[in-house]
Amino acid sequence: MIDCSASKGLRMPSSLPSNGDCQKVIFLDRDGVINQDSPEYIKSWHEFHFIFGSLDAMAALTAAGFSIIIITNQSIIGRHMGAPATLADIHTRLKQCAKNHGAVIHDIFFCPHTPEDHCACRKPNPGLILEACRIHGIDPAQSIMIGDSAKDVLCARRGGCGRAVLVQTGNGISAQKQLAAIQMQPDHVAPDLLSAAGWVMDTWTATALMHS
């Protein structure tokens, strides 16, 4: 198990109050949820393409009072396929695009390691979620994780998230089969982030998350 403190240093600057105010939190995976994933990895802003409706989804969640925090594995750093500055540039542009669309991405936590590093922060391990909760005073039980892979659902469970949502974009279809094979189900399956956002807002409005 390697020391994951380096990834904390690479975290994007925070804009959330760390006073326990942050209660309506959506943890979002990035690749395959917000943007098109690629087997070649996303190594530059030029390769970053939004999935249709994902900006609208984040804008709707923002308007409804949710804090959006991205939780993402970015092994391009550990694989030496991209520099930390390049990843920072992608995330700066992502946040700006979101802002231009009426959405606020409050923070981005990423794991720079490879699977061979056996770190605590690479999903499905919950290190990034636990770190986000610690920094921002989040009760994980009051959060929802949305992702497109089995790793995201496992991470949500291990991190104690109140709900785990699987989207069928990205790797979502194969993830459903992988999860079924280990008899683990997400709380909801949505065709894409826009649909997932609608479910999240309905769920929270019904206060099911707060009392179940």
Residue 172 interacts with Mg ion (CB under 5 A)?
Answer: no
Size of the site for Mg ion (CB under 5 A): 5
Residue from 7, 31, 105, 169 touching Mg ion (CB under 5 A): that is 31
Residue from 107, 148, 187, 192 touching Mg ion (CB under 5 A): that is 148
Q: Residue 95: which of 87, 103, 86 has the closest Cα?
A: 103
- Contact pattern for Mg ion over residues 2 through 21, marking x by CB under 5 A: --------------------
Residue 32 interacts with Mg ion (CB under 5 A)?
Answer: yes
- CA-CA distance, 159 to 70, in Å (whole number)? 14
**By the 8 A CB rule, do 93 and 133 touch?**
no
The alpha helices in 160-192, defined as continuous H runs, are 172-181
CA 148 to centroid of chain Cα atoms: 10
| Residue 116 CB contacts under 8 Å (≥ 6 apart), including other chains | none
Residue 192 interacts with Mg ion (CB under 5 A)?
Answer: no
In the region spanning residues 51 to 110, those forming contacts with Mg ion, defined by CB under 5 A, are none
Question: Between residues 29 and 192, which has the closer beta carbon with respect to Mg ion?
Answer: 29
The window from 2-10, 27-35, 93-101, 122-130 that contacts Mg ion (CB under 5 A) reads 27-35
**Active-site residue flag, 3:** no
**By the 8 A CB rule, do 194 and 53 touch?**
yes
**Active-site residue flag, 31:** yes
Q: Residue 172: which of 158, 187, 192, 154 has the closest Cα?
A: 192
Interface ranges with Mg ion (CB under 5 A): 29, 31-32, 148-149
Would you name the residues annotated as active-site residues? 29, 31
